[in-house]
Structure 1
Amino acid sequence: MRKSVALVAFILFQSTGAFAGGSLKDAPAPIPPPADGWSGFSVGAGIGGVSIDQNASAAAKRTDIFCLYWWGCSYPKDDYLSGGMNDDAWKVFGTVQVGYDRLLGDRILIGAFADYDFYPNGDESSSGSTKHGSLSGELNRAGVWTVGGRLGVLVRPDLLVYGLGGFSRMNQNGEVTAEFDNFKLPTSVTLKAGDLDGWTVGGGIETKLDRIDKRLSLKVEYRYSQFDGESGSGSDKSEAYKWWVLHCANEKARFDIDDATVQSVRAVLVWKLQADATPIEPLK
C-alpha cells in the first residue's frame, strides 16, 4: 500500500515539476490555425444586367347625372379611360454589398450578406386620352435590396461554387392620375403605390485573385426574384348648380401593379477584410 501511494506521488510530482520554477506566461500557448483566405467580413461592388417583367394597368370611369326639377334625373353615357405599362427589357445596374463568411472544415462555406442594386433606368410611363379626359401613369423603380445567406463548396482552394437565397424589397413608387372635364365640370383622382416585397434565389462562382492581391476575389452570380403586386382604388365627386339643373359627376379609378419577375446577372469584385490575417504569436 505504501509503495502504491509513493508511486502516485512521484507521478504527480513529475507532471507538475515543469511549472515549479516558472509561471503560466512561460508555458507555450496553442498556435491558432492560419487564415484560410475565405472566412471573415467583406465588402464588394459590381455591375450587371437586369430584366424586370412587370405589367401595370389603370382604368377610370366617370358618370354624369343631371337632375331637372320637373323632369327628374337623366344618366348620360359613362366615360371610360384605360392605360397600361409593360417592362421586360434588359437594363444595366450597379450593386454594392457587405457580407460575412465562415469556412467549415476544408470545403464547406456558409455566409450571410446584404446588398443593394441601383436601377438608373428603371422608370416606365404611359398615358391615354379621350375627348373629355386623360389618364397618365408613372412607375419609378430606384432599386432592390436583399438580405440573405449562401452555402457553397470549394472545388479548388481558390474556387467556390455556391447557392444563395433571401428576402428582397423593391424600392418603387407608382402613381396614376385620371382627369375628366365633361360639361365644364372637372374631376380628378390620383392613386399611388409603394414598395414591393419578395424573395430571391440564385447561385454563382467566386474565385480568388491571389496574383493581384490576397484579399481580392471575383464572383459572378445569377439571381431570380419574385415580388408581389399591389392594387388601389379611389373616387371623386363634384356637384354644380346652373339655373334649375343639378349636375353631379362621379369618378372612380383603379391602379393595378402585377407581380414582378426579376432576373439578373452580375459580376462583383469582393474585398476580403481578413483574408490575409496572420496567426497570433504565442506568448514568450
Structure 2
Amino acid sequence: MTDFVTKTFESFDGTKLAVHRQGEGRPVILLHGLFSSADMNWIKWGHAKRLAEAGLEAIMLDFRVHGRSASPTDPAAYPNGVLVRDTAALIDHLGLPDGEYDLVGFSLGARTSIHACATGVLGPRRLIACGMGVAGLAEWEKRSAFFKRVIDEFDTIMRGDPAYLSRQFLKSQGVDRVAARLLLNAFENLDPAMLGNIETPTLVLCGDKDEDNGSAEELAALLPNAAYETVPGGHLDSATKPELGEKIVRFLNSS
C-alpha cells in the first residue's frame, strides 16, 4: 500500500480538477462534502488508508471550487448538474465501465452520487450515501439559503449564531466565496420518486445525531435495495470517526 498521489485532469468544460489516489484494487470513487475536500473528508481521518489496506483503490475527487481543483468565477462554468458532470468526466477519464467501480459520497458528495444514479448518468457496482436524508435531496432551497447566508454575511456572523461553525469551516478551507456562491446555484432538487430508479445495492450511512439533511432512515426506506446504518456524531464530526471508514470497507467488501 502506497501513499496517495495527486494529479489533475480536464473536466467536460476544460476546468482542471484534482484527483487523489491511494491503494490498489477495485476502484472506489469518493466524493467529499460542501466546502470540504478529499483531504479533509477522506485522507486526514484515515478512511482512504483503510480502503487501501482492505485491497481497494481510493480515488478521491476534489470538486470544482474545492481542495486543489480550479475555482472559476465565470457563471458559465456552473450549469445545472455540474458536479454530476464532473464526476462522470472523472469516470470517463479513468475508463471505468458501469459496474466496475464503487461510489461513495459524503453530504454534497452523497447528493451528487444519488442524483447521478437516479438519472442513469452513473452505474456503480455499489453505492454508499453518507450524511444525507430526503430533505437534502428534495428541499435544496432551504439548505442553499443557509449556505448563501454564510457566504453573504461572512464578515458579520459571530459566535453563537447557528451559521458560525459553517462560517469557520468555510474560512479554514480557504474556499473562494464568489465561486462557491455560483456553485450553489447549480444544484437542483430531486423528486423522491426518482429514488426508485436506483437498483444498485446501497448503504445509507449517517451520524446518529445528524439531521442536517433530513432523515437518512427515510432515504434508505425509499431506495429499492438499501440498508441503513449509523456512526457516532453529528453532521460535521461523523466524518472524523473511524467507524465511518470501517463501515464503508465492510459494505464494499461484503459478498
Same fold flag (TM > 0.5): no
The TM-score range, normalised by the shorter chain, is: under 0.3
- More RCO (CA 8 Å, sep 6+): 1
Higher helix share: 2
Larger Rg: 1
* TM value normalised by structure 2: 0.20
